[in-house]
Amino acid sequence: MANSNAMCTSFKRDLLNGVHVFGTGVIRASTAADTFRAALYLTTASIGASTTAYSATGEVSGINYAAGGVAVVNGTPPAASGTTAYWTPTAAFLWPTVTLAASFDAVLVYNSSQSNKAVSTHTFGPQTVTAGNFSLTMPVNDGTNALLRIS
């Protein structure tokens, strides 16, 4: 087998684990896992690839919905398969007994431990909820389906 240029898969997994610091000094003194959250956004919002941090602008509001969204259950460490590193939260994102009358169609996953930095945005069909539970089920945690994949 000949040598080739590639980004190592273990390096991709380490990025999800926050192992590497590319600055001029150590900026991660904590060894604890970061806290992630998921917030819902109106169909009229503009979140996507250019989103850099959580903002209440364009976020849904309603009965039993707290600004900033819900905590993401993160019990599964990042993994790798072949040339793909991946991660999926352990549980669905759940907003119990909410009334969200305005149409929404997106969720922002962000790191609340690191200045609310955006991780990813995900869209789905327009929704409204009246005194019910709203849940976003997580995909299978593998190299093809995981919520976050780096290949």
pLDDT (tens digit, 0 to 9) for every residue of the chain, 151 residues total?
556 667 667 778 877 777 665 655 656 666 677 889 999 999 999 999 989 999 999 999 999 999 999 999 988 888 899 999 898 999 999 999 999 999 999 999 988 988 898 899 999 999 999 999 999 999 999 999 999 898 8
CB 42 within 8 A of CB 107: no
Tokens of 99: 């009334």
So what's the pLDDT on residue 13? 80
- Taking the CA atoms of 98, 130, 47 and 122 in sequence, report the sign of the dihedral they define: positive
Given this model, what pLDDT does residue 7 score? 64
Of 97, 98, 100, nearest to 61 by C-alpha is 100
What is the predicted pLDDT for the residue at 21?
Answer: 59
The Cα 143–Cα 60 span in angstroms is: 31
Whole-prediction pTM: 0.86
Are 107 and 135 in contact by the 8 Å Cβ rule? The answer is no
Q: Are 109 and 37 in contact (CB under 8 A)?
A: yes
